[in-house]
Structures are given as structure tokens and as C-alpha cells.
Amino acid sequence: MPIKIQSDLPAKEQLEYENIFVMDDARAMHQDIRPLQVCILNLMPIKQDTELQLLRALSNTPLQVDVTFLMVQSHKSLNTSVNHLNRFYSVFDDVKEKKFDGMIITGAPVEQMAFEEVDYWEEISQIMEWTKTNVTSTLHICWGAQAGLYYHYGLDKCLLPEKLFGIYEHKVANRKIPLVRGFDDYFLAPHSRHTTVDRDAIHNCEQLRVLAESEEAGVLLCMANNGKQIFLMGHPEYDRYTLDTEYKRDLGKNLPIHVPLNYYPGDDPSKKPNLQWRSHSNNLYSNWLNYYVYQETPYEW
């Protein structure tokens, strides 16, 4: 799938190196099709890493996708340059009158705080309310999923005894649901979080349908409103070295951290991590774009 991004976005060079088809405005104007409009609310501190991971994940269908990056105004990012933000990001006031076919709300490193204590909670609540009328399907990731479940369905998160960190096995609950079409019975996905949403609370919520879960990591994937709202607790978009970087970062800060589960060969951090989740990650994002964004969105809003 061609992803339409600004020609000078730093992620473009790496995507092209990986043989992923990207195009700029000039080339896109020569194609007589309506691209899917996808907005990515990037709440992660190092935004360039998340940009690359998500653009890579969105690159596996024949659909053309026009990506808009969004940031919150009520929080100052300290890990991404102001120049990068000003050049490549919009704020909610810029887009609130627009309609989007799909939206992704990322995770954020604020999970150990109460939702109302997060300095941009009021703003993100406004955005999540806006998605009900202005977005065909919204995919919430990790903390974004916890925030969405809390805002839309009143399901609060709870603190885990220790960080859930590594590669976990999950079982598909119903493979006939288009979002997990083509999945194996069991598949792997990365997790990196201190909190969770109670498994029973999700199962007992009549509006939610669980699509994949793990004995160790809990619910990974659930949805509501026939896919208008999708909640993904893990990080299948992570690349090979993301957990490695997080592990060494936490070690360097003397934070309590264990070796990521099922990640390094022989649990030896000196060895190259195994990439064991990419095919199912590609399948998940392709299914989302095809069945819940492209197939459901009107040609003209």
C-alpha cells in the first residue's frame, strides 16, 4: 500500500530502505482515487520511533493512505524537537471540522497516573468524544486502549504487581470476526506496561467483544460498535529492538525490570532478539484498514 506522507518526514528514508512504498503529494495528485484519511494521535515521547513503527504496520494492503499526525496542545513534548512537531504535526483545532476514515490513538508513558491526573486528559477526552461522529473506526493502543475503555465504558485500570514485559502468547476467541481473519489459533505479541484492565470487567461489559486474550497478559484485543472502537492492549507494531531499548533504558535508570519474557534467545540480552510477531501484526493492521475503515467508510463524508 502506498502511504502518503510529507517528502521530508524523517521516517520516509527508513521506510524506503525497507522497500515500503511511500509517496509524496506530487505523485499522489496523479492518482485518480480517494485515499483513506487516517489520523494518528501520537502520545509517545519519542514520536519519530512511533511514526516509523505505525507507518510500517499500515503498509501492507493495496489501499492508499493519507496520514495526518496529531499531537496534544496541553502537554509540552520534551523528547521531540519543536521543529519536528511544527513541521509534521497538527493540533485538534486544526482537524476538528474534518472527517477521518480511521484514527489511531497511541500509548503514553503515564499509565501509573490516574486518568484525571494526566495533564492532557480533558483534551484527549474531547478528542475521543469527537471520534464518535468524525471517525469511521478508531484503534486505541496500550494506554490509549485503557483510556478509551475508561472514557467510553467506565472500566478503570489497575496496577500490576510487576511490569508486564515481553512476548506473550494469545488465543483467538473467534476467527470469523474480520479483525482476526487469517490468524492462527495462537499468536505472539509484545507487551510493555505496568497496568491492565480487569479481564472479567471486559468480558462482563455487554458492549465489548473479546477477540484475543492471554492466560498471562489478559485481554489483548476487544472491540465495540461493530469495530467503530477497537482496543489493543499490547504493541504488535513494535520492531525487533524496541523491548531491548526499553530494557536497557530501565537498567540504566536502576528501575526494577526483568529480562523481557520469550524475547532473547536463552534469555541472554547479549543475543539478537527474535522477531516473532511481525506477520500477525501486519495481518491485524491490514484487516483493520480493509474491513473496518475502507469497507465501512462512505466515499464522500
Active site amino acids: 142, 235, 237
Q: Could you give the C-alpha distances from 108 to 13, 42, 174, 262, in angstroms and in order?
A: 26, 8, 29, 24
Query: Taking residues 22-32, what's their average pLDDT?
Result: 51
* pLDDT at residue 74, as a whole number: 86
Mean pLDDT, the chain, whole residue set: 90
- Per-residue b/e over 241-277, b at no fewer than 16 CB within 10 Å? ebbbebbeebeeeeeebeebbebbeeeeeeeebeebb
State pTM to two decimals.
0.89
| Mean pLDDT on 272-292 | 95
Query: Tens of pLDDT along 185-243?
Result: 999 999 999 999 999 999 999 999 999 999 999 999 999 999 999 999 999 999 999 99
Q: Name the pLDDT band for 26 (thresholds 50, 70, 90).
A: low
Do residues 237 and 56 lie in contact, with contact meaning Cβ atoms separated by under 8 Å?
yes
The predicted structure's pLDDT at residue 28: 46
User: pLDDT-derived band of residue 115, with 50, 70 and 90 as boundaries?
Assistant: very high
What pLDDT score was predicted for residue 34?
75
Question: Which whole-number Å values give the CA distances from 213 to 114, 163, 232, in the listed order?
Answer: 25, 18, 10
Distance of CA 233 to the CA centre of its chain: 9
Q: Provide the pLDDT for residue 296.
A: 77
